Chain A
Amino acid sequence: MQSKLILLPAIVLIGVIAGCSTNPKVERIAADTTTDLSGDWNDTDSRLVSEEMVQDALSHPWIASFIRVNGHQPALIVGEIRNMSHEHINVTTFVNDIERVLINSGRVQFVASSNERQEVRDERQDQDLHASNETRNPAGQELGADFMLKGDISTILDTVAKKQTRYYQVDLTLISLADNRKVWVGQKKIKKAIKNPQYRF
């Protein structure tokens, strides 16, 4: 027994060193594969929430009412979607997911965001100076948005020791730019149970 004790520190040392000297292993997987590693908000959450919420938004009567009154598809713009959660969520990815689903639905038109618009305006100004008359795009022809999509992502955490329940709530609101009316309010909830290990090697 005592002789085994002599080798214990060496075994421990080898174990400690071996545990920390691995190279990363890379494996390519499909972009829509669900990979829940840490329990944090991830690409799957962003994609599923945006798809479900946009489907919900498009299934309500505000589009039909707008087309009946105005005779054309509504033009939308995405306003601020604030991250009020406990995590550093890439809101840009989420906004892009929403834009993609909305545009691809073919039922609404989409207006560039304020940052994108500025870049386009700069380009138009540049065209004024440098482009030929036939190819120049004049100013003052922009499509004004009819509705703005705003919202936030928030979380509620419940933690006891190594166990945690994370509750995500995404609230989106579609506001009419003509009269500030809220024409659609959507909500999507996600709940995750996370158990962190108590021991490691």
Chain B
Amino acid sequence: MCCRQLKLLGFGAVVFGLTACTGFTQKNAEVYRYLANGNPQSALLELEKTGYWHRDRVLYDLNKGMLLRMIGDFSGSNELFESAKQEMQGLSATSITENIAAVTINETSRSYVGQPYEQLLLYAYKTLNYLALSDIDDARVEVLQADAKIREWISEAKWEGVDASVFIRYLSGIVFELSGEWSEALIAYRRAYEVLQKKSVQIPYYLQLDLLRLTRHLGLKGEYDQYLEMFPSISATEIPSMREQGEVILIFHQGLVSRLFEQSITNFSPDIHQHLRISVPVYPLQAPWIGYAQLQVADQVQRTDILENIDRLARENFAARSPGIAARAMLRVVAKKAAAKSANDQDALAGFIVDLAGLITEQADTRSWTSLPASIQIARINLPPGEYRVQVMPATNAKGIGGFGVERMISLAPKQKVVVSVHDIVN
């Protein structure tokens, strides 16, 4: 076989290999459609049917783990999440071949390792699964691992992950409270507060209350007075006593995070007599609708408050990555055109095939953890010990609310905290 045929064969392999897998958003469109219609069971079957390309193993595990969680298989969900976590750790080292492929073939040649906010939410959902299984110690392990991850980012001055840590910090506070570690809980709530303050985001009502409640409980008078001054909407009489009362905590996972789509520009350049194509991922302009829930226990009703706007985190993350994506897209065009020109100089047919391969393999990386909610919200109600009916329902009847309703009986002892986690995935 002559050299020319070998080259053509090589490129044939590239084109075949990379066109065999369509874009992530396209490939998983059905999964997303089932999910957006509030049918995680069918979405799961569809996802299993669709399978995954080895580079997307992490994403497959994350999405499957989330779908299993939605249908109540918390142990199965954690097995998948653990697998995703191990895979992420293995992929955390920079791959030389994948980076070369990203600037010569396309960005999807890289293994998906998860964006910092996704990595933290992986810990969060594993924690929530353990809480659903009443396994506080293992939930505690997850929040400690998340803390270690955040500290690693701080040591490397990678602030994006740190800025996306509000929910995991807050959840750590809940886990430490469940474990009876009040000072650890206060530290976790403080850290959530510090991130929100840094981002100039309004402090959720429940976080204000938690900071006041715990500083008073731990006898930190100076800090308590400071918070009382900073949160004028809360009066001292509103702050619940931690010794006699139990608490119901609602964690509400609302909607679905936006998906990335591919945007391609194809043009024929008369100067070099070749086609130019650039593909980049884009988010739809409109962010998902944010709906609230209300938690009702006995005669108390509380509306949820947004703790983490995941959709905003995803868009901020993408905005930060965009210049790099654009630069690599330009580099790819140059590399592909140089290869096509070189082939064309030797043989017109080879040049045509190389040019075609360059066009076909140009694909935007639209991968992201698409089964995440658009926002995570919180509501808390303190109650004296007793038997209660807990109801979670939409806060308004406005269009767009999923029309979900959750009801369950709980038994509450003094100092006991019951965590109720509800997904409303219908956007």
Contacts and interface: CB of A to CB of B under 8 A. Distances in A.
Interface in B75-108: 89, 91-98, 100-101, 104-105
Contacts of A12: 97, 100-101, 104-105, 109
Nearest to A4: B342
A138 to B, nearest CB: 36
Given A6-B354, A15-B97, A199-B94, A161 B104 contact: no
Interface stretch (B143-151, B374-382, B393-401): B143-151
Contacts of A198: 93-94
Given A9-B105, A13-B17, A200-B94, A161 B156 contact: yes
B316 interface: no
Interface in A185-200: 196-200
B13 interface: yes
Interface in B334-383: 335, 338-339, 341-343, 345-346, 354, 357, 361
Given A13-B13, A200-B96, A8 B104 contact: yes
Interface string B103-121: 0110001000000000000
A169 to B, nearest CB: 14
B96 A6 contact: no
A201 B95 contact: yes
B155 A5 contact: no
Given A13-B17, A20-B54, A159-B155, A5 B95 contact: no
Given A199-B96, A200-B95, A9 B101 contact: yes
Contacts of A160: 152, 155-156
A131 interface: no
A13 B141 contact: no
Contacts of A84: 137, 140
A7 B346 CA distance: 14
B11 interface: yes
B96 A201 contact: yes
Residue among A8, A12, A20 having the largest count of chain B Cβ atoms under 10 Å: A12
A13 B105 CA distance: 9
B295 interface: no
A14 interface: yes
Contacts of A182: none
B138 interface: yes
A87 interface: yes
B102 to A, nearest CB: 10
Contact of A2 (B13, B152, B338): B338
Interface in B272-297: none
Contacts of B33: none
B346 A3 contact: yes
B138 to A, nearest CB: 6
B152 A159 contact: yes
A157 B144 CA distance: 10
B130 to A, nearest CB: 10
A16 B109 contact: yes
B14 A83 contact: no
Contact of B141 (A86, A162, A196): A86
A107 interface: no
A10 B335 contact: no
A29 B216 CA distance: 57
Residue among A2, A6, A14, A199 having the largest count of chain B Cβ atoms under 10 Å: A6
Nearest to B12: A10
B387 to A, nearest CB: 27
Contacts of B54: 20
A108 to B, nearest CB: 27
Interface in A4-39: 5-10, 12-17, 19-20
A82 interface: yes
Nearest to B110: A16
Contact of A16 (B101, B155, B339): B101
A15 B111 CA distance: 13
Given A2-B342, A161-B156, A82 B13 contact: no
Contacts of A10: 10-11, 13-14
B7 interface: yes
Contacts of B104: 8-9, 12
A8 B7 CA distance: 10
Contacts of B91: 200
A81 B152 CA distance: 29
A199 B151 contact: no
A87 B341 CA distance: 54
Given A15-B97, A159-B151, A200-B96, A9 B141 contact: no
B171 interface: no
Contacts of B95: 199-201
B18 interface: yes
Given A6-B354, A13-B18, A86-B144, 16 more contacts: A3-B7, A7-B7, A7-B10, A9-B101, A9-B104, A9-B105, A12-B100, A13-B109, A16-B101, A20-B54, A86-B148, A88-B141, A159-B151, A160-B152, A161-B152, A201-B95
Q: 10 closest Cβ contacts across the A-B interface?
A: A10-B10, A2-B342, A200-B93, A86-B144, A12-B101, A197-B93, A20-B54, A160-B155, A159-B152, A15-B97
Interface of A: 2-3, 5-10, 12-17, 19-20, 82-88, 155, 157, 159-162, 196-201
8 contacts: A3-B346, A9-B105, A16-B97, A87-B141, A161-B156, A196-B89, A199-B96, A200-B93
